[in-house]
Amino acid sequence: MPELALSLQFARRLPDAALHRAALPRHRAARWLRAALDEALQAAEITVRVVGEDEGRQLNRDFRGKDYATNVLTFDYCHAPVLQADLVLCAPVLAREAAALDKPLADHYAHLLVHGALHAQGWDHETSEADAEAMEAQETRILAALGVPNPYERG
């Protein structure tokens, strides 16, 4: 198991901060991220930043050219032997999605942290249908091992 150095940050003006801090305590974030790390890695240095809608939108616009806040953004700097990445989670988007999917906010955080960690390791669901299916299957396996229901199953 790779060693994990985790920095967990919450934006200062985060709406419903207590709700998001409760759904994403440090020990859970570390557990979820460790589960998503490739065992071939020596270590991982990951910063997780939970932001509001304005910051999420600005980052998505500036770095992806998309003018809306998205659920997770992955900034990967080094893949191996030490993974270095920043994962930015937009709290209001995650809360809306969890409510629309009728699932616990903590489960949605788990899913998006695993999703972002896989992106940081080179997984990509936007390159082809086969890649999307492979990434979805990997996420589902990891989450199942963590006791989190399949995020892609609908009702």
Residue 117's CB is within 10 A of a number of other CB atoms, namely 28
Q: Which helix (H) or strand (E) holds 129?
A: helix 129-145
Domain limits, the chain: 3-145
| Confidence at 132, pLDDT banded by 50, 70, 90 | very high
**Which residues line the annotated binding site for Zn(2+)?**
115, 119, 125
| Confidence at 154, pLDDT banded by 50, 70, 90 | confident
Segment 84-99 mean pLDDT = 98
**Which residues line the annotated binding site?**
115, 119, 125
Sign of the CA dihedral 30, 42, 120, 148? negative
| Confidence at 155, pLDDT banded by 50, 70, 90 | low
Task: Give this prediction's pTM.
Answer: 0.95
CATH number attached to the domain at 3-145: 3.40.390.30
Contact yes or no for 59/88 (Cβ under 8 A):
yes
Query: Which residues, other chains included, contact 58 with Cβ-Cβ below 8 Å and sequence gap of 6+?
Result: none
Segment 125-150 mean pLDDT = 95
Percent of the chain at pLDDT > 90 equals 94
